[in-house]
Amino acid sequence: HAGLAMLTRPEGDDSKPTCEQQRAMEDCYAGCKCSALFASFDAVAERSSVLASVQDSEVDAAVAEAIAVELHGPDLASVTITSDFILASVPHIQQKLASILGDSSVTRVHVRLLDGEVCSSRSIFPRGVAKHSDIFKWHRKWEQVMTTLSSRELVCTV
């Protein structure tokens, strides 16, 4: 994901990929990803673990702790994100990242992606997923966060 975010600026901050490059990246990356996600969902959709109910209070607690930002100096920040962040609204994510996004002096960001409580490695699909378009939106949030941070030097650890 971080590699794709960085490819959108192949010649530096002022450059943009051509339409052909953008389309090729999208086709090569997203096509394979969506096909794999959709096939996985179709294979396990009948199992109760995919549709297991989780209390709203558990979701709220997980979302509240899903993103943590620490500033380590004038130009360095670290972001710890649990997989539960994808249940957060876009305004919530933007609010949590505001200290980085609003400070142009932060040029380096270390991102750690950790397993969540609700959306964990035990289930790659969140509560409420019922069709392929739900899965696409869910997994797209990670790409959007990385693209938002792509003007900084990124180091990602999963």
Q: Which pairing describes strands 76-82 and 67-71: parallel, antiparallel, or unpaired?
A: antiparallel
Which residues neighbour 106 within 8 Å (Cβ) at sequence distance 6 or greater? 71, 74, 75, 76, 77, 100, 152
Quick check: pTM over 0.85? no
3-state class of 18 per DSSP? coil
- Residue-wise pLDDT tens digits, 136-148: 776 677 777 878 8
Both structure tokens of 100: 């980085």
Residue 111 near residue 149, CB atoms below 8 Å: yes
Both structure tokens of 148: 């938002």
Q: Which of 90, 50, 88, 48 is nearest to 66 (CA)?
A: 88
Q: How confident is the model at residue 75, as a pLDDT?
A: 93
Indicate if the alpha-carbon torsion angle 53, 85, 156, 12 is positive or negative: positive
pLDDT higher at 75 or 19 = 75
Q: How confident is the model at residue 70, as a pLDDT?
A: 95
In this prediction, residues 80-109 reach a mean pLDDT of 88
83-28-5 Cα angle (round to 5): 50
